[in-house]
A = this chain, B = another copy of it.
């Protein structure tokens, strides 16, 4: 029998919330029970509560669904996907977890809590072992799991197999990020038309800190971050969806470009092995054409869930360099959280 697990989207009216709704509306394992938002929206239909900002079927076909308030009394479900703003996410997510829900959050509130798995399913599925630690420590029947910020997610998708195969000593990242990463209304048009913004508040520190954590290892009660020398320089460019990242890496033993291409090409991880619904066939798509990947051609491949790697070549300074492209509001946000949930379900970690 094919019983789908009831889920709630909290923060369903924002851009990321809409992506959650879109992904979950037709999901074979999950079934939307509640679309939840602030008390201001509660009681309205989804269509009245917000403007649909995605190109496909408006409101994912749920235009008439009544919005409920983002509280565990009004919107409980075994699985909760959180697209709340950082400012309010913390206590609301905790409330759901305390009430027994497993919360998959795209918000930053709990991302650096020591006992909260910060998860990219291909990269660090073993960090799920933090869940019992968290439950015990907090006395919750539910739990909170986070996905990292979009820039870090795209980055570690390429760093993880290299770190595993060779050992990563250092990386340098320069990002060219899409405006959708800052939500709506986000970046003002006068700040980005014909412009490059050379600064995104807090982003560089996040990338350096979280990459180390994602590549780190579980020591029985917490994560020991990987010891990697790292530098991030983050920019905003006039692109809607899709972060481009120019990366240089220093690897142990100076592998050749061919060895690196082989490792990246052949990499398959837990989501592929388990055949998770939202998993791309291969975590990385390797491009040979010298001018790829590009946002306009590549970012929507595999529903935006694969990360693209191109121009893999020697770097005179660090050893090897390449360019990455990933979908910041799919793989880097809603899609990433949904894949986290699929992994947790497959691993039997959800009491639904």
Contact = CB atoms under 8 A, between A and B. Distances in A.
Interface of A: 15, 51-58, 170-172, 174, 176, 179-180, 184-199, 201, 208, 229-231, 233, 235, 237-240, 244, 246, 248, 289-301, 310-311, 315-318, 321, 323, 325
A201 to B, nearest CB: 8
A188 B186 contact: yes
Contacts of A321: 231, 233
A196 B311 contact: no
Contacts of A194: 193-194, 238-240, 295-296
A318 B231 contact: yes
Nearest to A57: B301
Given A188-B187, A316-B229, A316-B230, A198 B52 contact: no
A173 B43 CA distance: 41
Given A188-B187, A244-B235, A297-B52, A317 B229 contact: yes
B238 A197 contact: no
Nearest to A196: B244
A157 B224 CA distance: 42
Contact of A238 (B52, B55, B189, B310): B189
Given A197-B291, A248-B172, A231 B317 contact: yes
Contacts of A292: 198
Contacts of A294: 191, 195-198
A180 B296 CA distance: 13
Given A231-B317, A235-B176, A294-B196, A188 B190 contact: no
Given A176-B237, A233-B323, A190 B53 contact: yes
Nearest to A52: B297
Given A189-B188, A189-B193, A299-B55, A248 B231 contact: yes
A231 B240 CA distance: 29
Contacts of A316: 208, 229-231
Contacts of A174: 174, 233, 246
Contacts of A295: 194-196
Given A190-B296, A193-B194, 19 more contacts: A15-B190, A51-B297, A53-B297, A55-B301, A58-B297, A171-B317, A172-B248, A174-B246, A179-B189, A184-B190, A189-B191, A194-B194, A194-B295, A196-B239, A198-B294, A208-B316, A230-B316, A233-B248, A238-B239
